[in-house]
Amino acid sequence: MPAARHLAQLNIGRLVARPDDARVAEFMGALDQVNAIGRRSPGFVWMMEGSGEPGTGNTENCIAGDAQLVSNLTVWTDVASLEHFVWNTLHRRFYARRAEWFEAMAEQHFVMWWVPAGHRPTLEEALARLEHLRAHGPSEHAFGWDWLAEAQLWRQRGCAVAAE
């Protein structure tokens, strides 16, 4: 019998301003609520946390020392659970408005991969998976929504494959 596995995902973005700037205040103010919905969602396993300060989410874990380059790293039991959270909760409304708070990224900025049940990936591990996807394209090692046949909500919602 194969070992149980879970789905890890990393999504990075560069805010249009520092996290304490008024231009991203609405987004920052919603992080606690959206993250709480994620934690209560069926199939949620784990989320990389920040300091726990209200309204900061995980923004303290910036990338390459850039306070505006932020990440979201979570683990889910399966594809359907992650899709449900992304497309059928309050998260969807904020995702639809991402261009208001995030710069357009020229490179791939989202990656998923399977992890053994119980594994909590580090940001470094996740960034290495993203780099692998960028360099080699989708494979079992690192992939996007389009690589997963079971990703039905992603297809129905018409998510753009390329960076916008």
Q: What is the pLDDT of residue 163?
A: 36
What is the three-state SS of 33-85? HHHHHHHHCCCEEEECCCCCCCCCCCCCCCECCECCEEEEEEEECCHHHHHHH
- Identify whether 162 is part of a domain: no
Q: What is the domain extent for residue 37?
A: 5-157
- Identify whether 40 is part of a domain: yes
- Identify whether 94 is part of a domain: yes
Number of domains in the chain: 1
- Identify whether 123 is part of a domain: yes
- Identify whether 149 is part of a domain: yes
For residue range 18-39, list pLDDT tens digits in order: 999 999 999 999 988 999 999 9
- Identify whether 164 is part of a domain: no
- Identify whether 120 is part of a domain: yes
Q: How far apart are CA 130 and CA 142, in angstroms?
A: 7
Identify the residue whose tokens are 């020229």: 106
Q: In what order do the strands lie in the sheet with 5-14?
A: 44-47, 69-76, 5-14, 110-116
In CATH, what number is assigned to the domain containing residue 55? 3.30.70.100
Mean confidence (pLDDT) of the chain: 87
- Identify whether 131 is part of a domain: yes
Identify the residue whose tokens are 């690192």: 142
Q: Which pTM value belongs to this model?
A: 0.88
